[in-house]
Chains A and B, each alone.
Chain A
Amino acid sequence: MVSAPPPPETSAKIQVQVRDLTIRYGSKVALEKVSLDIREHEIFGIIGPANSGKTSFLRALNRMDQMHSSMKVDGQILFRGKDVHSWRNLYALRSKIGVVFPLPVGLPLSIYDNVALAPRLSGTKNKSDLDEIVERCLQRAALWDEVKDRLDSLGSMLSGGQQQRLTIARALSQDPELLLLDEFSIAVDPVTTMKIEDVLKELKKEITIILVTNLVQQARRLADNTAFFLTGECIEVAKTEDLFTGEVKDPRSRDYVEGRFG
């Protein structure tokens, strides 16, 4: 506790404010009455076993309930002070919130076009600007060195781990303010995972990151604050250090991070 960094929440502004968020799929409740705050320039970790509602939480944030007719969202999610459900221009909202899904989705375009897609959609036409964005994003996703000589080949032909890094590069290409990472390292080797983790620590200076992960230690390495979800309930939101040193309100949180939890 002595070496813990100064708590960021005292200084930083709230980026995302969640109040009484309840998510249902049909009659099944995936998430119940979750309230939490996510501050600017923090990495906010969400841990919890399968079926705890972590992914549903991210989906609701990016308004992906639009695509799942059975998904029903109640409660408030304020992004920059405005409830995401009251946004008229959903596309503008999504362009501010980047998402990386657990399984890589290399679009059937060239590597270059995969990364240049979002900037082009929002009107960047200048070739040298695009070149610069593509290189910067691929660098950040630790993929540049492997693909810089074949930017014209198909993104969907890369290996799984490379596609995942391409997905991350693509998510960064539109300069999101908020980056949602859902189990990003599931298809990536440990060395590359560490590289990307370093990138995330750098990125934190510019954007806010929500990191959903099954790897408890990954949350410990990266997250400033961490929430523990269990079967649709938010059991605990705490400073990550507190969670791992056992200073928790609920004993289940300690059991989970210490791996004593089936």
Chain B
Amino acid sequence: MNAPPTHSHDPPEGENLDQLNLAWYVDKVVQWLVFFGGISAIIFIIGIFVFIASQGLGYAVKELDLGEFFFSPLWRPTSEANPTYGALALIAGTASVAGFAMLIAVPFSLGAAIFIAEFATGRTREILKVLVELLAAIPSVVWGFIGLSIMNPLIINTFDVPIGLNILNAGLILGLMAAPIMTTIAEDALKAVPDGYREAAEAMGATRWQVVWRVVLPAGKNGLVAAVLLGVGRAFGETMAVLMATGHSVHIPTSVFDSVRALTATIAAELGETPVGSDHYKVLFTLGIFLFLVTFLINLTADLVVRGKRRNA
């Protein structure tokens, strides 16, 4: 069997078949075009980061008192005599609103996703899917408007508190904003679980809920975690609705009826009135870097979780 080739052509016959044809060239050109498309996205992201960093990073590292920045609740950037840049209250504001929003959004969106993917059939399911997608398309300023003009008096009257622009209001609004996108992604994760799994489990006499709980949710777990994390990222980054519904007062909250101020809203409200290049301006960019890092870490985690799913699949 190890004998040398009996037919030793020179060049071998296969050489004639191995010709670079038009399809091959088209393939190469398309590969390059797609490559540049992909690279350009990376370049833009790096460009944005470089810009933000150039405006705030040098200042943040060299001049800013990071101890004050992270641990002081005093945000007095416009004080003539003694400006202080404590972001603790802003961070607490964003965290409390986003956390409350997740308390609302996670159960609602996961429930909705399970219902749409596993229990609803035919028309119900189609209508629900369209409605959820419609919900995701409502602009955030409209949500802010609802918070300002509907939720505000509602909360004042229902809970007998002096002001209705607070964590409860913004958290509800933000939760409702994040829920549709989380529902859509979670539903995709459940849809990606092969039907064979469901059939195999149902064939053993498992009820629908048992199938969902024991088979579908574990199989789609990574996708669901990714959906939640993307929702958290959305809640952290949202600006307009929280600007309008939180009350925008610098304050470490002690109850859900306290007004707070979010990082994003601070940047949006103050950047336009700040002299370019001033300390205040640079501190706002530092807030931006911090936000960028937080949302980047959240998205990275979500991505790694989804990759974990692919590896295990």
Listed in ascending order, the chain A residues whose CB lies under 8 Å from chain B are 13-14, 17, 19, 35-37, 78-82, 87-89, 91-93, 96, 121-122, 237
Contacts and interface: CB of A to CB of B under 8 A. Distances in A.
A92 B1 contact: no
B254 interface: no
Nearest to A18: B1
Contact of B6 (A14, A88, A93): A14
A237 B15 CA distance: 28
Given A80-B13, A81-B9, A81-B13, A89 B21 contact: yes
B273 interface: no
A188 B47 CA distance: 56
Nearest to A84: B14
Contacts of B17: 80, 82, 92-93, 96
Contacts, number: 56
Contacts of B7: 13-14, 81
A37 to B, nearest CB: 7
Interface string B230-262: 000000000000000000000000000000000
Contact of A92 (B5, B9, B13, B19): B19
Given A36-B1, A37-B1, A78-B5, A93 B18 contact: yes
B130 interface: no
4 nearest A-B residue pairs (beta carbon): A81-B12, A82-B14, A80-B14, A80-B13
B5 A14 contact: yes
A237 B20 contact: no
Contacts of A92: 17-19, 21, 24
B158 interface: no
B32 to A, nearest CB: 17
B2 interface: yes
B12 A87 contact: no
B27 interface: yes
Nearest to A81: B12
B5 A17 contact: yes
Given A14-B7, A81-B7, A91 B12 contact: no
Q: Which of B13, B17, B21 has the most CB of A within 10 A?
A: B17
Contacts of B61: none
B5 to A, nearest CB: 6
Contacts of B9: 81
Contacts of A93: 17-18
A88 B13 contact: no
A36 B1 CA distance: 6
Question: In this complex, which of A17, A78, A89, A237 has the most chain B Cβ atoms within 10 angstroms of its Cβ?
Answer: A89
Q: Indicate the member of A37, A79, A80 with the most B CB atoms within 10 Å.
A: A80
Interface of A: prevailing SS: mixed
Q: Which of A36, A82, A88, A93 has the most CB of B within 10 A?
A: A82
A176 to B, nearest CB: 12
B6 to A, nearest CB: 6
11 contacts: A14-B6, A37-B1, A80-B17, A81-B5, A82-B12, A87-B18, A89-B20, A91-B24, A91-B27, A92-B19, A92-B24
Contacts of B21: 89, 92
Contacts of A36: 1
A79 B1 contact: no
B41 interface: no
Contacts of B138: none
A91 B23 contact: yes
A78 B17 CA distance: 13
Nearest to A237: B1
A251 B17 CA distance: 41
Given A78-B14, A82-B17, A88-B18, 15 more contacts: A14-B5, A14-B7, A17-B5, A37-B1, A80-B12, A80-B14, A82-B18, A89-B20, A89-B21, A91-B23, A91-B24, A92-B24, A93-B18, A96-B17, A237-B1
A122 B22 CA distance: 10
Contacts of A82: 12-15, 17-18
Contacts of A87: 14, 18
A121 B24 CA distance: 12
A70 to B, nearest CB: 12
A91 B21 CA distance: 10
Interface in B11-39: 12-15, 17-21, 23-24, 27
Contacts of B8: 81
Contacts of A96: 17
Contacts of B23: 91, 121-122
Nearest to B25: A89
Contacts of A37: 1
Nearest to B20: A89
Interface in B42-91: none
